[in-house]
Amino acid sequence: MVPTGLARWQAALGASIPFAAHLPEGLVPALLERPVAVPGSHPLDWPGKQALAVHDSAPLCAETPEALLDEAVTSAAAMFVRNNGGIPPEPADPDAWSFTVDGEVQAPLRLTVAELAARFRVVTLQLQLECGGNGRAFHMPAARGNPWRQGAISNGAWTGVRLRDVLLAAGLKDSAAYTGHYGADPHLSGSSQPAISRGMRIAKAMDETTLLAFRLNGEPIPHLHGAPLRLVVPGWPGSLSQKWLTRIWVRDRPHDGPGMGGTSYRIPARPIEPGQAHDGADFVELESMPVRSILSSHAHGARLPAGTRTLDLRGAAWAGDLTVRRMEVSRDFGASWQDMDFAEPANRHAWQRWTGQVDLPADGYYEIWYRATDSEGRTQPLHATNWNPQGYAANPLGRSGLLIG
């Protein structure tokens, strides 16, 4: 059956749609539905940063277009930015920056960055840092918050010490159950309450890939990304990766700072009606992020020369605490899928790069659909599922529109 609106769509695209017969009923071509530029955004103008798509200036939040994520290790310039408050002043002596560990520990600690590096084993790991709201733009109806598409992800090479080693040095009491994180950034209202203060179960804090980081890609961390000291809690919502870190409070119960409880970083255990008002009382914490993939070799909306008959595709995929066990691409609206090659992660919690080739039969409009499957067999769905008021964990498959000719 010919989908309704096909002639209109082809006119709007200025191209024929060779695989139009496979367009699922009711699906609008991605290039017509999703403008190339993120609606309402403007390019970031910030020293040392690329022209990311700014969702908000106060607090500063900017998304990385997928095509700027083509490096195996994300450069600092390409990293998305997510702030909940202001940006604290830069300290004169970064090595003298100190933070405390207190609460349910035998011996509270105050350590400077220099002491951390001297006392504990220093490691470098490639780590996914993904905003809990990545993919929010795909929830229908629109959910509250920055409408990230898929660009609130980075995979930097972080250098620091394991939080685990520092917690062991402080000596966890049997009552230690949770962390609470504090940073130096001011609340936008000027009040003394933290802009954000989240925490995690102690098991994640004790994971070998949870770092107290002071370097990124072999350089000092850029101030915007949390220098001189930040947490990197890979695979879980980025909000746990406290920037400008000043304190870790070890608690005997779940933390209750701003960003905890209710509908914050929490998702329905059983789906609710999309758009429904909800207090989130019976929601569950969003911990390991869902499987997701990006296409970085071709930007959504790119035009390639007439006669192009093969595409060399590249991208990345990741799955929170899990790994990716399959990466597939379709160029005919999901009628057929082709397996892509993908690499093992550089270390646990690093993303996985993928590559592959598809053939195109003619000039015209195509959509490259891309989806990953995690190590427990969950595949990215066609549409976002499990709608929730703050729009977390939407991971529909990717759809990039390309024009040939």
Return residues touching ligand MTE (CB under 6 A): 79-85, 129, 131, 183, 185, 195-196, 225-226, 238-239, 241-244
* Smaller CB separation from ligand MTE, 239 or 373: 239
**8-state DSSP, 66:** G
* Smaller CB separation from ligand MTE, 225 or 266: 225
Which partner from the list ligand MTE, Mo ion, none does 76 bind, CB cut-off 5 to 8 Å by kind? none
Binding pattern for the stretch 35-74 against Mo ion, x by CB under 5 A and - elsewhere: ----------------------------------------
* Alpha-carbon distance values, 82 to 65, 243, 375 (Å): 14, 10, 29
171: how many CB neighbours lie within 10 A of its CB? Answer: 14
**Residue 131 interacts with Mo ion (CB under 5 A): yes or no:** yes
Which partner from the list Mo ion, ligand MTE, none does 83 bind, CB cut-off 5 to 8 Å by kind? ligand MTE
**Residue 137 interacts with Mo ion (CB under 5 A): yes or no:** no
* Smaller CB separation from Mo ion, 101 or 131: 131
Residue 339 CA to residue 326 CA, distance in Å, equals 7
Minimum CB–partner distance for residue 54 and ligand MTE (Å): 13
Q: What are the helix (H) ranges across 88-238?
A: 113-119, 163-170, 202-205
- Are the beta carbons of 353 and 343 closer than 8 angstroms? yes
- Are the beta carbons of 217 and 156 closer than 8 angstroms? yes
Minimum CB–partner distance for residue 238 and ligand MTE (Å): 3
Burial label for 314, CB within 10 Å (0-12, 13-18, 19+), is middle
Which partner from the list Mo ion, ligand MTE, none does 78 bind, CB cut-off 5 to 8 Å by kind? none
Q: Give the sign of the dihedral formed by CA 321, CA 284, CA 272, CA 263.
A: negative
107: how many CB neighbours lie within 10 A of its CB? Answer: 9
- Are the beta carbons of 104 and 172 closer than 8 angstroms? yes
Tokens at 314, concatenated: 């590249």
* Alpha-carbon distance values, 18 to 175, 216, 363, 367 (Å): 63, 45, 8, 10
* Smaller CB separation from ligand MTE, 183 or 315: 183
Of 238, 315, 356, 364, which lies in the binding site for Mo ion, with binding defined by CB under 5 A? 238
Give the interface segment with Mo ion, choosing from 13-21, 81-89, 183-191, 328-336 (CB under 5 A).
81-89
Which partner from the list Mo ion, ligand MTE, none does 128 bind, CB cut-off 5 to 8 Å by kind? none
**Residue 135 interacts with Mo ion (CB under 5 A): yes or no:** no
Minimum CB–partner distance for residue 47 and ligand MTE (Å): 15
Minimum CB–partner distance for residue 151 and ligand MTE (Å): 11
Of 82, 247, 266, 349, which lies in the binding site for Mo ion, with binding defined by CB under 5 A? 82
